[in-house]
Amino acid sequence: MEWIEASGETIEEAIAAALEEAQLSEEEAEIEVLSKPLVGRLFGAKAKVRVRPKEGLPPEATAPAAARLTREFLEGLVDVFGLRAKVDATAEEGTVVATIDGDGLGILIGHHGATLHAIEEVTRTVVARRLRSKARIVVDVAGYREKRRRELEEFARNLAEKAVRENKQITLKPMSAADRKIVHDAVKTVEGVRTYSEGEEPRRSVVIVPA
């Protein structure tokens, strides 16, 4: 996170204001006093400080700040695309869950979610750099991820049943790590079959094999 500045009648008041804006505790922040309050003059000056997260903080500690930065970044992205959409981001157990809702948002999803995955990765990189710490971020657009999950689960179960019925191995097309996990979990619900992954990223695939 870039430095956040705040002022107050006292140094303590300025620090409290800066920490509140950064959504950090005093133990989690680097604090620099830029100027002390000047009193006894006609035009007295307030105290001014700046804060930022300590380097290497765990995601749990920076999640509230990460949520704010994620929302700001995605709102800027939506503006750049000239779209009308509502952006929300919340911190849930150390993970930032961000949603973009509105009409005509297909451009932010792309083929099989390729653009959405790229947006999520860029958001994660930008926020992590500003926080000086890794950030766990999940971005969804118009409920795409939930719809994609349901479709993949049904697709995986159908293929698993086919593998059992025809007693043959089935290799799926390469997919992202997130999609592979959905497939692995769905196939576990079908008896008589197992899965494993093969290949190198980004061409890694799930293989369904009769047990």
pLDDT tens track for 95-137: 899 999 999 999 999 988 889 989 999 999 999 888 877 888 9
Identify the pLDDT of residue 45. Answer: 80
Alpha carbon distances (Å) from 44 to 15, 168, 183, 188: 19, 82, 65, 69
Identify the pLDDT of residue 93. Answer: 78
CA distance 18 to 51: 6
Whole-model pTM over 0.75:
no
For the chain, what is the mean pLDDT? 90
**Cβ partners under 8 Å of residue 53, min gap 6:** 1, 22, 24, 28, 29, 30, 61, 62, 65, 131, 132, 133
Identify the pLDDT of residue 43. Answer: 59
Cβ atoms of 89 and 98 closer than 8 Å: yes
Max distance between CA atoms of the chain, in angstroms, equals: 90
